[in-house]
Amino acid sequence: MIEAKGVVKRFGARTILRGVDISVAAGETMVIIGGSGCGKSTFLKCVVGLLRPDEGSVTVDGMDIAQCKSEAEVADYRRRFGYLFQDGALFDSMTVWENVTFGLRYLTPIPPARFRRLAREKLALVGLKDIEDFRPAELSGGMKKRVALARAIAAEPSYILYDEPTTGLDPIMSDVINDLILDLQKQLKVTSIVVTHDMKSAYKIASRIAMLHEGRVLGQGSSDDFRASADERIHQFVNGLSQGPIKMKLKDYEPDAAGGA
Amino acid sequence: MMETWLAALGGATLGVMEALGQFAFLTQSTLRWIFKGKIEWRQTLIQCARIGADSLPVTVMTTFFTGMVLALQGGASTEHFFNQPLFVGMLVGFAIVMELAPVMTALVVAGRAGAAIAAELGTMKVTEQIDALYTLGTDPVRYLVIPRFLAFVLVMPFLVVISDFSGILGGWLVAKVKYQIPPSVFWHDIIDSMRVRHFMHGYIKAYVFAVAISLICCYKGVTARGGAEGVGKSTTQAVVLSMVAIFVLDYLATAVLVALGIT
């Protein structure tokens, strides 16, 4: 179980998260939606321990990364997670199979002699075959995402965190990735947090949805709750409307609603 | 007006202090991992080969021509005063071994291998590959910085010794062709006057420069921000800072070595 309580994160004078409370039960797929820059990815990085909250806490199965003192504790915490980065973050200098098995050396006691076979198995799980010796530069966007997904699940984590898994993909490939997330959910019985602003994807894969707006949770509930939400800001976001309480400037130099420049 | 000026000054000071703090933290993390003995030897060897292969042809060429220039100027100056070129071997030997080989080599390595490291790590940073390392169970300092740091420390002294030879060879060529100084005279000039401590003077500097260049370039790489433009800026800053550090540290190292009698 992942439990975030009052998470605040600042970068210099800018406060990105202003007290986020989200809990994700075991086996659940929590989808976090929200506009660009609302703090979704920052929250995900706080969960995995890439960023430390300035206030509040994130506990995973009762463990708080901020309280982990020894290297073994930190390793134990990290072992629980697989993380899919927005653009894959595949290592350019390595082949596909080396990318997929990279974490096994550090996260598992599996002998390196078995890595190549394991890479093939994990790639098959995400629907890829015979690309083990390719370099990331030789792959399409969708293939890169799938290789990154194979890498994220290679060490068999209990939690998978997805940062914008369908961004930059065509609608069909987006749906393929959604199906993969659902498949992995069924096969591996993992708990997932998916950060996205793709509502079609959110409705398809979510057990529950939470919406972040200006660093706070605006609402949480099922897909149906969100479809029928009476909150004007949620309604505007899930229906993708330019007019509504959430103001976005068309041009950077456009005056804002308060009349300032 | 005054407030704006003070705010700008305060902001700049805070920025410098923050950068120094981050640099100190990187240095401390690097040393901590090395003392723990958790070293990625395969990566270190790859980096040694890269840094050596990248830099060797340019360092050899640079110091070879520097040696030629020294011999030419030394010969011309002494010819002007004494009607014949004197002590050309000694001049070339001392200048190259104690000063020019380590400094020229460090400058070339900073511009070639240092820039490559800052650009590579910077690209990894802005494409989240460094974050990916963390999520895959390894520490970016352990996997990226330490192999590069060790590679610099291992390779740089070799490059400097090779530069010593190429510089002196350059000087010898000019001494022979331009001034018809017999090889035995040229080499005796060097061997008779040069002691091990003179060689050590330049050799120790190689380590000082290796530590500075590797840490500066790795630091600028892992702190790059803002896409391709950010990587470009970080790479330029890495090279400029390394070059400034080489000259400043050259003076400080010389002062310490002179005080210790290694001169």
Residues of B in contact with A103 (CB under 8 A): 135-138
> What percentage of chain A reaches a pLDDT higher than 70?
95
Model pLDDT for residues B227-238, shown as the tens digit of each residue: 899 999 999 999
pLDDT band at B180 (very low <50, low <70, confident <90, very high): very high
Q: What is the pLDDT of residue A173?
A: 85
Residue B188 inside a domain? The answer is: yes
Model pLDDT for residues B162-174, shown as the tens digit of each residue: 999 999 999 999 9
Residues of A in contact with B138 (CB under 8 A): 103, 105-106
Name the average pLDDT for chain A.
89
Q: What is the pLDDT of residue A73?
A: 86
* Structural domain for B203, as ranges: 56-259
Q: Tell me the C-alpha distance between B258 and B174, whole Å.
A: 31
Are B96 and B172 in contact, with CB atoms under 8 Å apart? no
Are B99 and B106 in contact, with CB atoms under 8 Å apart? no
Q: What is the pLDDT of residue A260?
A: 40
Q: Is the pLDDT of residue A254 over 60?
A: no
Mean pLDDT of A38-42: 91
Model pLDDT for residues B11-70, shown as the tens digit of each residue: 889 889 989 999 999 999 999 989 888 889 999 999 999 999 889 999 999 999 999 999
Model pLDDT for residues A120-179, shown as the tens digit of each residue: 999 998 889 999 999 999 999 889 999 999 999 999 999 999 999 998 888 888 898 899
Are A155 and A82 in contact, with CB atoms under 8 Å apart? yes
Q: What is the pLDDT of residue A71?
A: 79
Residues of A in contact with B137 (CB under 8 A): 75, 78-79, 103, 105-107, 155
Mean pLDDT of A9-17: 91
Q: A residues 155-194 near B, CB within 8 Å?
A: 155
Give me the residue spans of the domains in chain A: 80-189
Whether residues A91 and B127 touch (CB distance < 8 A) is answered with no
The pTM score is 0.88
Mean pLDDT of B60-86: 94
Which of A34-38, B113-117, B150-154, B180-184 shows the lowest mean pLDDT across its residues? A34-38
* CATH architecture entry for A80-189: 3-Layer(aba) Sandwich (3.40)
Of B127, B128, B136, the CB nearest to A102: B136
Whether residues B128 and A85 touch (CB distance < 8 A) is answered with yes
Q: Dihedral, CA atoms, A165, A182, A155, A70, nearest 10 degrees? A: 70
Residue B87 inside a domain? The answer is: yes
Distances (CA, A) of B110 to A84, A234, B55, B213, B216: 35, 53, 9, 6, 10
Whether residues B129 and A89 touch (CB distance < 8 A) is answered with yes
Q: What is the pLDDT of residue B50?
A: 93
Both tokens of residue B260?
């210790």
Residues of B in contact with A155 (CB under 8 A): 136-137
Q: What is the pLDDT of residue A261?
A: 37
Q: ∠ at Cα B3 (A260, B6), nearest 5°?
A: 125
Whether residues B135 and A107 touch (CB distance < 8 A) is answered with no
Q: What is the pLDDT of residue B124?
A: 96
Model pLDDT for residues B239-253, shown as the tens digit of each residue: 999 999 999 999 999
Gap from B51 CA to chain A (nearest CA, Å)? 16
Distance of CA A219 to the CA centre of its chain: 18
Gap from B217 CA to chain A (nearest CA, Å)? 19
Q: Is the pLDDT of residue A259 over 50?
A: no
Whether residues A78 and B134 touch (CB distance < 8 A) is answered with yes
Whether residues A155 and B135 touch (CB distance < 8 A) is answered with no
Q: Is the pLDDT of residue A15 over 50?
A: yes
Q: State the DSSP string of B85-153.
A: --SHHHHHHHIIIIIIHHHHHHHHHIIIIIHHHHHHHHHHHHTTHHHHHHHTT--HIIIIIHHHHHHHH
Mean pLDDT of B68-97: 94
Whether residues A90 and B129 touch (CB distance < 8 A) is answered with yes
Residue B208 inside a domain? The answer is: yes
Residue B89 inside a domain? The answer is: yes
Exposure string for A139-168, b = 16+ CB within 10 A, e = fewer: beebbbbbbbbbbbbbbebbbbbbbbbbbe
Nearest CA to A21 out of A48, A53, A62, A51 is that of: A53
> What percentage of chain A reaches a pLDDT higher than 90?
66
Q: In what order do the strands lie in the sheet with A14-24?
A: A14-24, A2-11, A55-60, A63-64
Of B124, B129, B135, the CB nearest to A83: B135
A110 touches chain B (CB under 8 A): no
Whether residues A83 and B137 touch (CB distance < 8 A) is answered with no
A48 touches chain B (CB under 8 A): yes
Q: What is the pLDDT of residue A258?
A: 45
Helix%, strand%, coil% for chain B, nearest 5: 90, 0, 10
Residue B7 inside a domain? The answer is: no
Model pLDDT for residues A242-252, shown as the tens digit of each residue: 888 887 655 55
Residue B23 inside a domain? The answer is: no
Of B129, B134, B137, the CB nearest to A91: B129
Q: Tell me the C-alpha distance between A21 and A36, whole Å.
A: 19
Q: What is the pLDDT of residue B210?
A: 97
Whether residues A103 and B131 touch (CB distance < 8 A) is answered with no
Total domain count, chain B:
1
Residues of B within an 8 Å Cβ radius of A: 123-124, 127-129, 131-132, 134-138
Q: Tell me the C-alpha distance between B98 and B92, whole Å.
A: 10
